[in-house]
Amino acid sequence: MSNSCQVCHSTVNVSCNHFGARTCKACAAFFRRTVSMKLDYSCIEDPDSCRVHYESKLICRFCRLKKCQKVGMKPVLVKSKNERKQYIRISKGLVRKKSPLRSCDTAESEEDGQIKNEATPGPSSEPSFSADIQEIMTKIIKLESAMCDRRRLLYAETPISIVLESGKEWPYDNMPLKMFDYKASQGPSKHDFVMIMDYARGLPGFEELNYTDSVFCYRTICATDFVMASAFYTYKRGTQYDELVLNDGTFVPMNPAPLTGYEENANLLFQNQDDLIKFRTLMPLLAKQWQVSLQFAKLEMSIEEFALLKAICVWSVSYYRLSESGRCVASAQRDRLIRALHHACQLRNEAVLQNSQYPEDVDDEFDDVGERLGNAIMALSYIMEQIRNLNCSLVMISFFGILNVDSLMIDVTSFW
């Protein structure tokens, strides 16, 4: 059997038949969306485009559809969006049909004196489930927006009329950034710790923790915010600029890659030994943060997805250091947040499809919300690893007095 697409002859992402013919995912997506959206095309009458080949810069959609039909792709095999929603993805390639629930079925079972056990929640439970998702999404996004506003007020050198402008997804949108100066760096200030305390107190579940657990959770939020906010701000700035954006509105140029301080004769570049030690402590950490930010940027997260994933990370990192009662709170909140993140992924996919000029060309796997959610959850592995790197560095900075840090920072790092 040929490993190339019967429509465009591409050999990429050709693993099975789609709608009756062996095609790549791109052609399958084109055919499915064309049929489901009942789109009509006109031939552009260009020899190169009309030959329907993946190497062409532009493919005539009229001829592409005609080729799809010629190789045997059948419109009758294309399910509508409502039909696709009747199936639940359990894992890649494995689905099961949802249990249909109708009010008339419930009435009939009650008349017969029988009770039906369904795998999916009944109609009466749907509104409360949706309300719970909406409630936690609203709270988390409101908390993240408040941090964004306060950082813009504290660190952005712009007129107050612009600083108070609402609707910004990150603090330094269209604002000048200052270059990071390792010599002047003193770590987070009291303003930062107060800002994070307000976030912690508004985080659903935080007030349910006992005193010891709440202190640990607060310290976790400090580290998580540094790693994830910097990664998100760098993504919003644009990785093409090769600049790592830090929480305080400064940036570190990453092209060419900065020195680590351990190069041969690197000590000759510094005025004294203290500057060298400070540089060696900070720059490797920031270099790792840049790698995390590059990986994170590939997710192309919305502000809603970012805010929810950040809260999930807080509870995931905290979980194993909390008391038994604290773990119950963390587990319950993490489950709620994951359900909300799933909903946010679905909303983002729908928004992208609506805003796309050619929605029929969007990849067939794009609307796999479960896959997007899985990629977001998997990102926690390298995010949590960077949080551990950060804490190790901050402990060394505080213990050896490498930076003239605020006393609160010394207290925050004391639990590691």
Same domain, yes or no: 75 and 132: no
Helix axes 369-378, 324-355, angle to 10 degrees: 130
pLDDT of residue 65: 92
pLDDT of residue 63: 92
For the cut 90, the answer to whether the pLDDT of residue 242 exceeds it is yes
Instruction: Identify the domain containing residue 67 by its residue range.
Output: 17-79
User: pLDDT by residue (tens digit) across 85-102?
Assistant: 444 444 333 444 444 443
Kindly state whether residue 294 falls inside one of the protein's structural domains.
yes
Same domain, yes or no: 41 and 182: no
> CATH no. for residue 299?
1.10.565.10
- Angle 406-409-415 (CA atoms, 0-180°, nearest 5)? 155
**pLDDT: which is higher, 92 or 275:** 275
pLDDT of residue 174: 80
pLDDT of residue 108: 37
What are the two backbone dihedrals, phi and then psi, of residue 282, each rounded to the nearest 5 degrees?
Answer: -85, -45
Task: Rank 30-34, 148-152, 380-384 by mean pLDDT and report only the highest.
Answer: 380-384
How many Å from the N-terminal Cα to the C-terminal Cα in the chain?
A: 58
Same domain, yes or no: 201 and 295: yes
Kindly state whether residue 119 falls inside one of the protein's structural domains.
no
pTM above 0.85, yes or no: no
Same domain, yes or no: 272 and 366: yes
For the cut 80, the answer to whether the pLDDT of residue 395 exceeds it is no
User: pLDDT by residue (tens digit) across 249-271?
Assistant: 999 999 998 888 888 888 888 88
User: pLDDT by residue (tens digit) across 6-21?
Assistant: 998 888 778 778 888 8
**pLDDT: which is higher, 209 or 87:** 209
**pLDDT: which is higher, 161 or 400:** 161
Kindly state whether residue 9 falls inside one of the protein's structural domains.
no
Residue entry with tokens 């060309």: 361
For the cut 90, the answer to whether the pLDDT of residue 379 exceeds it is yes
For the cut 80, the answer to whether the pLDDT of residue 207 exceeds it is yes
For the cut 70, the answer to whether the pLDDT of residue 375 exceeds it is yes
pLDDT of residue 2: 66
Kindly state whether residue 96 falls inside one of the protein's structural domains.
no
Same domain, yes or no: 273 and 153: yes
**pLDDT: which is higher, 100 or 2:** 2
Cβ neighbors of 115 (< 8 A, separation 6 or more) are: 109
Average pLDDT over residues 158-164: 67
Q: For residue 383, give the nearest of 252, 196, 197, 231 by alpha carbon.
A: 231
Same domain, yes or no: 245 and 355: yes
Average pLDDT over residues 281-287: 88
What are the two backbone dihedrals, phi and then psi, of residue 323, each rounded to the nearest 5 degrees?
Answer: -70, 175
Q: For residue 252, give the nearest of 184, 179, 177, 174 by alpha carbon.
A: 179
For the cut 90, the answer to whether the pLDDT of residue 107 exceeds it is no
Say how many domains are in the chain: 2
Same domain, yes or no: 75 and 133: no
- Inter-residue contact 84 to 349 (CB < 8 Å): no
Same domain, yes or no: 62 and 136: no
pLDDT of residue 272: 87
**pLDDT: which is higher, 116 or 188:** 188
Same domain, yes or no: 61 and 143: no
Using pLDDT thresholds of 50, 70 and 90, give the confidence band for residue 398.
low
Average pLDDT over residues 93-122: 38
For the cut 50, the answer to whether the pLDDT of residue 233 exceeds it is yes
Average pLDDT along the chain: 79
Coil, strand or helix: which one is 24?
Answer: coil
Q: What percent of the chain has pLDDT over 70?
A: 75
